[in-house]
């Protein structure tokens, strides 16, 4: 199982959870499992075509998946996946 | 038999290698650490270029910070070549293996017609005010002088800008510019510690000026009471050495990013949301820029500002102070900045998390292609705000309100 960390703005869509444990072999698997479990997350994470929205960054163990293999980036046991939206507050 | 001064001097001469001023002058820059062991009053009259000042009485305490490598070549000098011999013995006792003393000292250096420089002199009051900085080898008088000659621009005198402004002012950053068009509101005072109850309704830039000048009269405050816009951003940021981004809208953050990259000015970026903060330092062309990190802004429902979502007051306080820390490092040229790293702070867990950031080779603002196009007078098209957010939501993008 991998741990997916949910940012504050998305927590209302996942029952207030700060992190969710999910199984899967790639970032795409985890995102799919996540939006199946919490359908209201889908438009916030994915485009209509199923790609990651450009305003949400996804990191696996601190590395941006845009510079790894995107949704195909493999994940293993105990990997930490972090969803990170931009914030503007100052 | 007790030893005499002449005995001690003979011993030192027999143990320490001596080099001439001409030998030292012929060393390529950086080949040896040149340490001036005279008193501060002598150093202020002039010293060798590139020398570090450590009074003989502080050599034991300060040499390890100035020269961490005990096998590095070190040349000591004083006024006439005697004190430096004794100081060199101390270094040998500390295990420094390649120590020399410059014979004839600074007098012989000057007599030989070799170049020297006079440091900018801090006033007696400044020496006292900044004494805790002067004691740090990485800052010292040279660093403090550099800060006094530096210019920092704060975008926003709000939650992030308040602590950043106060600490940069206290540190003696000589010019602090402040951009803000707002007035002080009662709801600001839960976190915006530049302002006070008595100043509700007052312009924030003026309130900030009063707080900064009350803290440190060395600081020149430049107020820009206007909203940062496409037609004034270049004028406003011109001439500053570093920019602290404490705005609360995406539009201003992208606008500032694009202009700062074009002008090659580092931006210390922070943003806050309830109990969370994000921080990084954008150093143009060395690390990623804001558009590399977030190519497009999120839809408004995913990014409410402080006035909508709320924020624990201390969170911008902590993030603003970390911004000041980054700014001081940029200005002093010391340490490692957060360029290429995003620091996340979670106040509820008291955790910091670090993420790796990369330059986007296709970035419309900071890529090699973008820089070349700008230099050629034909900047690459940048996705417009409306277009950028249109893909994310069918609703028009609404700017976050001022927090």
**Preferred mutation among B249, B274, B302 to probe A, highest tally of A CBs within 10 A:** B302
Residue B2 main-chain phi, psi, to 5 deg: -65, 145
CB-CB neighbors (< 8 A) of A54 in chain B: 295-296, 391-392
CB-CB neighbors (< 8 A) of A64 in chain B: 355-358
Q: List the single residue in B with minimal CA-CA distance to A53.
A: B392
**pLDDT tens per residue across span B78-137:** 999 999 999 999 999 999 999 999 999 999 999 999 999 887 789 999 999 999 999 998
Strands across the sheet with B17-19, in order? B17-19, B99-102, B74-77, B33-36, B52-53
**Distance between B154 CA and the closest CA of chain A, angstroms:** 12
**pLDDT tens per residue across span B233-242:** 999 999 999 9
Please classify residue B339 by burial: count the beta carbons closer than 10 Å to its beta carbon, then call 0-12 exposed, 13-18 middle and 19+ buried.
middle
Percent of chain B with pLDDT over 70: 95
Q: What percentage of chain B's residues is helix, strand, coil (to nearest 5)?
A: 40, 15, 45
Sequence-distant (6+) residues with CB within 8 A of B218 are: B126, B129, B148, B172, B174
Alpha carbon distance A18, A4 (integer Å): 9
**Which tokens go with B363?**
């970035």
Nearest CB among B273, B294, B355 relative to A55 is that of B294
CB-CB neighbors (< 8 A) of B357 in chain A: 64
Note the pTM of the prediction, 2 decimals. 0.79
Sequence-distant (6+) residues with CB within 8 A of B188 are: B158, B195
Chain centroid offset of residue A68 CA: 15
**Which tokens go with B26?**
């012929």
Alpha carbon distance B278, B258 (integer Å): 20
**Preferred mutation among B161, B247, B272, B273 to probe A, highest tally of A CBs within 10 A:** B273
A1 touches chain B (CB under 8 A): no
Residue B400's pLDDT band (boundaries 50, 70, 90)?
very low
**pLDDT tens per residue across span B1-26:** 899 999 999 999 999 999 999 999 99
The residues in A 21-80 lying below 8 A from B, measured between CB atoms, are 44, 47, 53-57, 59, 62-64, 67
**Preferred mutation among B310, B317, B357, B383 to probe A, highest tally of A CBs within 10 A:** B357
pLDDT for the residue numbered B270: 97
Ranges of chain A whose pLDDT falls below 50: none
**pLDDT tens per residue across span B371-397:** 999 999 998 888 766 544 444 333 333
Q: Which helix (H) or strand (E) holds A80?
A: strand A80-85
Nearest to residue B314, comparing CAs of B162, B171, B165? B162
Neighbours of B397 (CB within 10 A): 20
Alpha carbon distance B338, B357 (integer Å): 10
Nearest CB among A57, A63, A89 relative to B311 is that of A89
Nearest CB among A53, A62, A87 relative to B354 is that of A62
Q: Which residues of B214-229 are buried (b: 16+ CB within 10 A; e: fewer)?
A: eebebbebbbbeeebe
pLDDT for the residue numbered B385: 61
pLDDT for the residue numbered B402: 35
pLDDT at B53 over 60: yes
| Crossing angle between the packed helical segments B161-171 and B204-215, to the nearest 10 degrees | 30
Sequence-distant (6+) residues with CB within 8 A of B236 are: B153, B177, B179, B224, B226, B228
Choice among B78, B289, B306, B366 that is catalytic: B306
């Amino acid at each position: 199982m991998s741990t997916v960390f949910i940012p504050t703005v998305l927590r209302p869509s996942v029952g207030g959870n700060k992190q969710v444990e999910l199984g899967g072999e790639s970032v795409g698997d985890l995102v799919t499992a996540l939006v199946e479990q919490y359908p209201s997350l889908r438009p916030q994470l994915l485009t209509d075509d199923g790609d990651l929205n450009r305003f949400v960054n996804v990191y696996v163990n601190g590395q941006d998946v845009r510079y790894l293999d995107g949704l195909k980036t493999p994940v293993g046991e105990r990997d930490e996946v972090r969803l990170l939206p931009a914030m503007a507050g100052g | 038999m007790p030893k005499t001064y002449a005995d001690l001097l003979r011993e030192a001469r027999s143990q320490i290698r001596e080099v001439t001023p001409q030998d030292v002058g012929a060393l390529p820059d950086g080949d040896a650490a040149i340490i001036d062991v005279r008193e501060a009053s002598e150093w202020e009259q002039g010293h060798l270029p590139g020398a570090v000042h450590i009074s003989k009485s502080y050599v034991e305490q300060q040499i390890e910070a100035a020269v961490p490598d005990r096998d590095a070549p070190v040349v000591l000098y004083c006024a006439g070549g005697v004190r430096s011999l004794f100081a060199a013995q101390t270094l040998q006792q500390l295990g420094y293996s390649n120590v020399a003393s410059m014979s004839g000292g600074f007098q012989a250096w000057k007599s030989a017609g070799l170049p020297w420089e006079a440091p900018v002199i801090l006033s007696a009051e400044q020496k006292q005010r900044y004494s805790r900085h002067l004691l740090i080898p990485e800052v010292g008088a040279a660093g403090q002088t550099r800060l006094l000659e530096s210019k920092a621009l704060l975008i926003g005198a709000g939650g992030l800008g308040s602590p950043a402004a106060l600490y940069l002012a206290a540190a003696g950053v000589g010019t602090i510019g402040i951009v803000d068009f707002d007035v002080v509101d009662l709801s600001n005072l839960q976190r915006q510690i530049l302002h006070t109850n008595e100043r509700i309704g007052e312009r924030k830039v003026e309130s900030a000026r009063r707080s900064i000048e009350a803290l440190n009269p060395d600081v020149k405050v430049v107020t820009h009471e206007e909203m940062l816009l496409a037609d004034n951003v270049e004028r406003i940021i011109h001439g500053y050495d570093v920019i602290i981004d404490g705005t609360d809208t995406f539009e201003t953050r992208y606008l500032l990013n694009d202009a700062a990259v074009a002008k090659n000015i580092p931006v210390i970026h922070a943003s806050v949301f309830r109990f969370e903060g994000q921080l990084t330092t954008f150093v143009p062309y060395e690390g990623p820029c804001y558009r590399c990190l977030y190519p497009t802004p999120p839809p408004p429902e995913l990014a409410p500002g402080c006035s909508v979502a709320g924020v624990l007051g201390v969170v911008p306080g902590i993030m603003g102070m970390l911004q000041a820390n980054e700014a001081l490092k940029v200005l002093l040229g010391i340490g490692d900045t957060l360029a290429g790293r995003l620091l996340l702070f979670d106040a509820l867990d008291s955790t910091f998390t670090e993420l790796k950031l990369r330059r986007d080779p296709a970035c419309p603002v900071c890529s090699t292609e973008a820089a070349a196009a700008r230099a050629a007078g034909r900047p690459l098209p940048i996705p417009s705000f409306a277009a950028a957010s249109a893909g994310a939501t069918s609703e028009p993008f609404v700017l976050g309100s001022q927090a």
